[in-house]
Chain A
């Protein structure tokens, strides 16, 4: 072996050491007692713990927040089976609590991490050390979380009315069909604002939206078992589950009065007409039931508005 090749080897090792120091992943070597043997610049930079301080210290006493039992469950197979193990941010967002490496424009406060834990063999072929490699996957994680949130919003939009948060018409009609099919008794309620077009001219659109939003909020207080929806424009529909006509009419009257009270301090009259139809023994279909409620609503409008009507044959 010539001196030159030895010098070359030393140079190579020097280069490799430089690269390991500067590479943008965390490298930690631990012995069998989980004491730190190597701590690269990435780890120093993000944790503020210098290699001198870390060396020889137990990992769990250096970082008390680190879940010891969990980490050992991942690390023990590495020692025992000489196999590589992995953790991903979906399991735990991070192993070490580091701040986002982009403190200003980053969208998460902390760094999401994936880790690989690899066995390091000694000359006796025993895995008596392991290396934890820590990858910063914040951008990937944030992107993936964004997408799943967006997808959830999309599926919400398909069934929800965005203004009131109630079900939309098509979702409600599906609920109505299955409610009808379940053979349960109950009443349908249709609420239509009176002269809403005039109100639209007299008030601002925001004010009209606010009225609709308040009616929606009022319907929500009926509870989830009473399925309420914004049927369209200024029409609302409710399945009053397992309510008889009399009780349904009381609920309807209360609703009508509370809509009327929205105009109490305004120079404009705010009112609604309501039609109620009980499911009768011979109501042949969900759509017939709905059309009965519609007839009752028409009757309420015809007899002067701001009133409640019950469907009668």
Chain B
């Protein structure tokens, strides 16, 4: 079975459309939080294997030094995980947009990371949930690492999944150097349940 076989073409288009709507809502929230214009990208829908996760992350930002948080969410038996990664060079601009005063210590960066993650991840998964009539419950965010190498972010090893649906959204803010990547991942069982919901929409 090829890697892409857990979703078909129509389903892929539908995921793309759902994400477009959701990330637009998320971008609107982010724009209101930062009071800045958020450039809307085209989300990338792909199916990745466990061993490809690091590669998928590597492609996510142009810089290698990153900080990231992840957050699990679950609803209607569908569970997924959201990861938000910031290029470390982004924090200075982010701090000035969010009107954080004081030195940009690792602790201050963590605050910025958490504040942005709360807004972006929440809006995005609820945006998807609303369209599918699923109420997603968010778990607590977990810091994956600060100022670490992209490759060290996710430990290798079998975490009990083989394939996952990956939705990548690359946000940039106009005129300032802020780059972040939001990655939504659904494991195979969850994708099966999601596909049923999607097929219902497609009919």
Interface string of A70-85 (1 = CB under 8 A from B): 0001100100110111
The stretch from A87-95, A225-233, A254-262 touching chain B is: A87-95
Are A135 and B140 touching (Cβ within 8 A)?
A: yes
- In angstroms, Cα B31 to Cα A81, docked, is 11
Q: Would you list which residues of chain A between 244 and 279 have a CB under 8 Å from chain B? A: none
CB distance from A294 to the nearest CB of B (A): 40
Are A88 and B122 touching (Cβ within 8 A)?
A: no
User: Residue A90 contacts which of B110, B115, B118, B138 (CB distance < 8 angstroms)?
Assistant: B110
Interface string of B26-56 (1 = CB under 8 A from A): 0001001100000000000000000000000
Are B114 and A86 touching (Cβ within 8 A)?
A: yes
Are A116 and B140 touching (Cβ within 8 A)?
A: yes
- The residue in B114, B117, B143 that gathers the most chain A C-beta atoms within 10 A of its C-beta is B114
Q: Would you list which residues of chain B between 109 and 144 have a CB under 8 Å from chain A? A: 110-111, 114-115, 117-119, 122-123, 138, 140-143
User: What secondary structure prevails in chain B residues at the interface with A?
Assistant: helix
List the B side residues contacting A83 at CB < 8 Å: 29, 118-119, 122-123
- In angstroms, Cα B117 to Cα A234, docked, is 55
Tell me how many residues of A have a C-beta within 8 Å of chain B.
16
Are B107 and A85 touching (Cβ within 8 A)?
A: no
Are B123 and A88 touching (Cβ within 8 A)?
A: no
- In angstroms, Cα B142 to Cα A81, docked, is 22
| Nearest B-chain residue to A80, judged by Cβ | B32
List the A side residues contacting B140 at CB < 8 Å: 86, 88, 114, 116, 135
- The residue in A74, A80, A88 that gathers the most chain B C-beta atoms within 10 A of its C-beta is A88
- In angstroms, Cα B114 to Cα A116, docked, is 12
Interface footprint category on B: 10 to 19
CB distance from B180 to the nearest CB of A (A): 17
List the B side residues contacting A80 at CB < 8 Å: 32
CB distance from B152 to the nearest CB of A (A): 13
User: Residue B118 contacts which of A86, A114, A135 (CB distance < 8 angstroms)?
Assistant: A86
| Nearest B-chain residue to A135, judged by Cβ | B140
Given contacts A86-B140, A88-B141, A114-B140, contact A77 B119 (CB under 8 A): yes
CB distance from A70 to the nearest CB of B (A): 8
- In angstroms, Cα B73 to Cα A81, docked, is 19
List the A side residues contacting B142 at CB < 8 Å: 88
CB distance from B94 to the nearest CB of A (A): 13
- In angstroms, Cα B118 to Cα A91, docked, is 14
- In angstroms, Cα B117 to Cα A84, docked, is 10
Interface string of A92-120 (1 = CB under 8 A from B): 00000000000000000000001010000
| Nearest B-chain residue to A78, judged by Cβ | B118
CB distance from A176 to the nearest CB of B (A): 28
- In angstroms, Cα B118 to Cα A90, docked, is 15
CB distance from A211 to the nearest CB of B (A): 42
Q: Would you list which residues of chain A between 199 and 239 have a CB under 8 Å from chain B? A: none
Are A86 and B141 touching (Cβ within 8 A)?
A: yes
- In angstroms, Cα B143 to Cα A8, docked, is 44
List the A side residues contacting B115 at CB < 8 Å: 73-74, 77, 85
| Nearest B-chain residue to A117, judged by Cβ | B118
Are B143 and A90 touching (Cβ within 8 A)?
A: yes
Are B110 and A84 touching (Cβ within 8 A)?
A: no
The 3 lowest CB-CB distance pairs between A and B, nearest first, are A85-B118, A83-B122, A114-B140
Give me the interface of A with B, judged by CB distance under 8 Å: 73-74, 77, 80-81, 83-88, 90-91, 114, 116, 135
Q: A86-B138, A87-B114, A91-B111 are in contact. List 10 more A-B contacts (CB 8 A).
A: A77-B33, A77-B115, A81-B32, A83-B29, A85-B115, A85-B118, A85-B122, A86-B71, A88-B143, A91-B110
13 CB contacts below 8 A, A to B, read: A73-B111, A73-B115, A77-B115, A81-B123, A83-B123, A84-B122, A86-B114, A86-B141, A88-B114, A88-B140, A88-B141, A91-B110, A114-B140
